[in-house]
Amino acid sequence: MPVTDTDFIIIGAGAAGCTLAREIVTRRLGTVLLLESGPIPRASRLHVPSDYLKTFGSRWDWDHRTSPQKGLGQRVVRLPAGHALGGSTAINAMIWIEPDRENFELWHREGGHPWSLGPIDEAFAHLRNWLEEFDLPSLPPLHPRMRRFLEQSAQCGWTASSYPSGFDRPRLGIDAYRRMQTRGRRVSLWNLLACDRQRWPIATQRQLQVIPDTRAVRLLFDDDHAIGVRCISSTGDMVEWRANRGVLLCAGAIETTRLMMASGLGPRDELQWSGIPCRVDLPELGKRLQDHLVFPIVYRLESETKESARSELDKQREARLQYLRDRSGPRSSNLAELGGFLELARTKDIASNSSVPQFQLHITPTHYLEPNPFGGRGEHVSFAVTPLQSGSQGSIALARAKGDWDGESLPPLTIDPNYLSKETDREEYLNAIETVRDMISGSPWCEWLGQEVFPKWKDHDRMASYLQRFASTIYHYAGSCAMGSDKESCLDGSLQVRGVDGLWVCDASAMPRLVHCNPQASVAMMAVRLARIISEAI
């Protein structure tokens, strides 16, 4: 079995892994091996912004499934997660938002000084400087429907920034989402790392080795020190990599948790049941899983035009030609172009500087539930409602299949987000939906919004049934390997795994609480902070 050495091994080339690799190399902390289980993202649909929904269930998606969800009528929910260089930044909606200060109060309490507002703000500023080199995040042209919405929001005083510089900008209100795309093409964190790498001196380029199509199956230890990883290569061979300074897990909330459990880190009883020798008892690993749900309210526009009456085939053909011509038009859209943060108590005066948002909107110029967003009959606008402060938490556990695991592959998991398990969560969700309806009915939007085509019903019991049937994930899994101040938490404030030297976790699984917005920017910020923590410790 081939064995090769490096200073740091990073497992997972998503938002955290790519950012962390760049930071370690540019800070001259040592050589880096960046391992990614997925392929190089060469397919054209991975670069066309509107095509990200078509990647779900493909080879670029882990395509995880939940256990039957009681709060969702026993439905099994698909959980997309990126499986390519770039991780989920290769298949997500590209929205880039920095959270407000209230998001990090618990982080500070659980993680101490490294997660106080000063260091976090400094890390975000560092990220901004990097992204500005590429004119990112960008504000691409809006779909005409969305442009009209934004103009009318401004007239009502409903606008607020979704991309502040620092913690002191207004949050509540409607805005166009800043996105990780440029000139009509998606930009993943891998794209940025690859561009940076080409500009580095040759000697610096050699400090970073990137290996796709290589799946980590087991961490390697010397007593209580993590020294490397065993992988299955693209050819099916087993290969071991040794890390002189440390191993950094950046594989996402689900795969990081699975790899740790497969390596004997986790709840002792659960590991023993599955026949995995327990190396370090981490009773909280896999617990505290959090996610954001989404439920759409869909309107058909009042005015039916010749444009909307054309066939779906004609629309798709014209969109393809327009995108090939100048990378504009519907295919350059991330669909969720517009959105904002609102309070349940506010319907008319929704702009504020001080209140913490209770739910988020993603507004699309499409029928949210249509498989071909810009096809179909008629023109639609959807208001996708996402509660941000759910009290429900779930878990990731080893599947109860004693004796079936071969010890060489990764063990199967049971993923139970426990959606809407608390009655208060369901009622607050229903209240949020009614708040959006009330907001729309009292706005200039209602002058040209037509019939509500989904869900239509306002009866409480029927709406509760629809919520069970149609609420789904918006792909923000977090918290399964959270840092904390107590000794039972998986990670300490430096994101190091308790009971193991030289092993860190840096992805959304490490969040003690899921941020109240799209988490991509926060995950990258965590990588900047961890690189700084490691540099101060060396």
Write the DSSP symbol of residue 373: T
pLDDT of residue 2: 56
Report whether 178 contacts 113 (CB < 8 A): no
Span of 47-61, 192-206, 349-363 with lowest mean pLDDT: 349-363
What residues form DSSP beta bridges with 396? Answer: 415
Please name the residues in contact with 264: beta carbons below 8 A apart, sequence gap of 6 or more: 271, 276, 277, 278, 279, 280
Q: Check residue 75 and give its pLDDT.
A: 98
Looking at domain 140-177+293-389+421-470, its CATH superfamily turns out to be Glucose Oxidase, domain 3 (3.30.560.10)
CA pair distance 61, 374, nearest whole angstrom: 23
* CA pair distance 49, 93, nearest whole angstrom: 8
> Cβ distance 405 to 275 under 8 Å?
yes
pTM, entire model: 0.94
User: What are the tens digits of pLDDT across the range 133-143?
Assistant: 999 999 999 99
User: For residue 136, what pLDDT is reported?
Assistant: 96
Task: Encode burial over 69-98: b for 16+ CB neighbours within 10 A, e otherwise.
Answer: bebbeebebebbbbbbbbbbbbbbbbbbbb
Q: What is the DSSP letter of 25?
A: H
Confidence label for 349 from pLDDT (cuts 50, 70 and 90): very low
Cα distances from 389 to residues 69, 146, 292, in angstroms, run 19, 27, 9
Q: Is pLDDT at 422 greater than 60 in this prediction?
A: yes
Segment 339-345 mean pLDDT: 82
Angle in degrees, CA 165, 167, 173, rounded to 5? 85
pLDDT above 80: residue 353: no
**Mean pLDDT computed over 161-177:** 68
Kind of pairing between the strands at 338-342 and 359-364:
antiparallel
Q: How many CA atoms lie within 13 A of 60 on its CB side?
A: 25
Categorize the per-residue pLDDT at 416 as very low, low, confident or very high, splitting at 50, 70 and 90: very high
What is the dotted CATH code of the domain comprising 1-70+79-138+184-290+396-412+477-538? 3.50.50.60
Instruction: State the pLDDT confidence band at 306, using cuts at 50, 70 and 90.
Output: very low
Which pLDDT tens digit goes with each residue over 265-278? Answer: 999 999 998 889 99
pLDDT at 409 over 90: no
Neighbouring C-beta atoms of residue 167, cutoff 10 Å: 17
**Residue with tokens 């923000």, as numbered in its chain:** 476
Q: What is the dihedral of CA 497, 502, 507, 512, to 10 degrees?
A: 30
- Distance, in Å, from the CA atom of 132 to the CA atom of 137, rounded to the nearest integer, reads 8
Domain ranges for the chain, please list them: 1-70+79-138+184-290+396-412+477-538, 140-177+293-389+421-470
Least confident of 5-9, 388-392, 506-510, 523-527: 388-392
Q: Where are the beta strands (DSSP E) in 208-364?
A: 208-211, 215-222, 225-232, 238-249, 265-266, 280-281, 293-301, 338-342, 359-364
Please state which of the ranges 151-165, 188-202, 465-479, 511-525 shows the lowest mean pLDDT. Answer: 151-165
The residue among 68, 91, 66 whose CA lies nearest residue 79 is: 66
